[in-house]
Structure 1
Amino acid sequence: MSKYIGPKLKLSRRDNFDLSLKSGCKLIESKCKFNKIPGENFSKKYKYSDYGIRLREKQKLKRIYGILEKQFLNYYKKSINKKENTGNYLIKLLESRLDNIVYRMGFASTRRESRQIINHKLVLVNDKIINIPSYHVTPNTIIRLHKKLLNNPKIIFSINLFKNKEKLDWINVNINNLSGEFLYTPNRLDILKDINENLIIELYSR
């Protein structure tokens, strides 16, 4: 599967769910016909099969975190080998990605923007430059942006958006010096409450 470069809001419309692919400075309903599923001949009366329902849930989760099929499958394989509930562990693995943590800390308005910052070697993890967006962040890890980003307009814009969002207990952020600490891996009930990961596990278990 190749990287998707088409209209981002079209993906959110397809899943009838805000995938956070845009900055969020405006309501998604004001940016597009959110309640209208893309496709000229798509009927609202159309009913997905059991397989289709599970597939759509998987696609939704992949698009939220911005990862491709092969990488997502690898996360699933890691999850099934753990004693913990497979679905819960899968979500925790995705939530512990470096690009997601930088996004959660408010240093990027989208996960895609977060990946760009990381790829440009502008993110330090425990004072060491890491340029791998999928890097697994462990609890009590300090994450800091490079000092050259202190007055960056995009970073300032992202931080202003972050101030209006709900505070996350598992992340401690110091906006003044663009740093934060990943305190602990969040509980499943605290993240992505609209995702049914059991449908995804059932899809791969077929």
Structure 2
Amino acid sequence: MARYTGADCKLCRREKTKLFLKGSKCEGPKCPIEIRPYPPGEHGRGRPKESEYQLQLREKQKTRRIYGILEKQFRNYYEVANRKSGKTGENLLTLLERRLDNVVFRAGFAKSRDAARQAIRHGHITVNGHKVDIPSALVSEKDIIEVRKKSLEMTPFAVAKAEAGQRTVPGWLEVVPDQMRILVHSLPVRQQIDTQVQEQLIVELYSK
């Protein structure tokens, strides 16, 4: 499976905003964007004129990088969203939010989406009692996501249990920290998604 293996902090600097890709490091003073708040590279300090296309492209790249998705898969999500009724941009964001790795991250069971993806890949997460090792699997209403009993004593999950409540959980999810369980009460809607992106710019880009 193709995946990005470069420096995550360069992605934040390129988008000139924190994408929260490194967990607790993003909250501290050592976050590179706090030290060098400009794009990486020789010409990073320059001030190029931003065209309409560039604004649309940067918004798409930012969204893709927040959720840790490569271009081909992101485009596939857009095509699915475009076929659904309603606003394409909102459909796209709700699809991304329903990814299993995003749900595990949102619930506070992992410090970042990368860490959530690794936990799923290694077989530590179950959905409705069945092990699921595909991070891109979409959760559905009434699903129950849990950390496997054999994995509960592992350090990342023990820390997550101890720090339960420190992260705001979206209204469409309910977390039961004592049992390391996530209940999906409903599918997300745009008003419940706090990802700071302008999805209409992505729709305009792909509509060209």
Q: Taking structure 2 as the reference length, what is the TM-score of the superposition?
A: 0.91
Deviation for aligned residue 1:45? 2.4
Map residues 15-34 of structure 1 onto 2, 5 A cutoff: 15-24=15-24, 27=27, 29-32=29-32, 33-34=35-36
User: Residue 7 of structure 2 aligns with which residue?
Assistant: 7
Number of aligned residue pairs: give it: 206
Matched-pair identity in %: 38
- CA distance 1:159–1:30, shift in 2 (3 Å): farther
Structure 2: distance between partners of 1:163 and 1:140: 22
Q: Distance in 2 between matches of 1:167 and 1:118?
A: 19
Question: By how many angstroms is 1:169 displaced?
Answer: 1.6
Q: CA deviation at 1:155?
A: 1.7
1:1-150 superposed matches below 5 A: 3-24=3-24, 27=27, 29-32=29-32, 33-150=35-152
| Corresponding residue of 1:182 | 184
- Is 1:143–1:180's contact at 8 Å kept on the other side of the alignment? yes
Instruction: Output the CA distance in 1 between the equivalents of 2:178 and 2:122.
Output: 21
Give the ranges of 4+ consecutive aligned residues of structure 1 lying more than 3 Å apart after TM superposition. Answer: 158-162
**Which of 180, 192, 197 pairs up with 2:194?**
192
Task: Return closer, same or farther for 1:4/1:25 CA change in 2, 3 Å cut-off.
Answer: closer
Helix, strand or coil for the counterpart of 1:61?
A: helix
TM-score by length of 1: 0.92
Partner of 1:155: 157
Q: Provide the rounded CA distance (Å) in 1 between the counterparts of 2:164 and 2:16.
A: 24
Root mean square deviation of aligned Cα = 1.9
Partners of 2:105 and 2:198 lie apart in 1 by 22
Residue 193 of structure 1, CA deviation:
4.8
SS of 2:40's equivalent in the other structure is: coil
Q: Structure 2: where are the runs of 5+ without partners? A: none
Q: For structure 1, which segment, 17-26 or 96-105, has the greater mean C-alpha deviation from structure 2 after superposition?
A: 17-26
Give, in angstroms, the shift of residue 160 of structure 1.
4.5
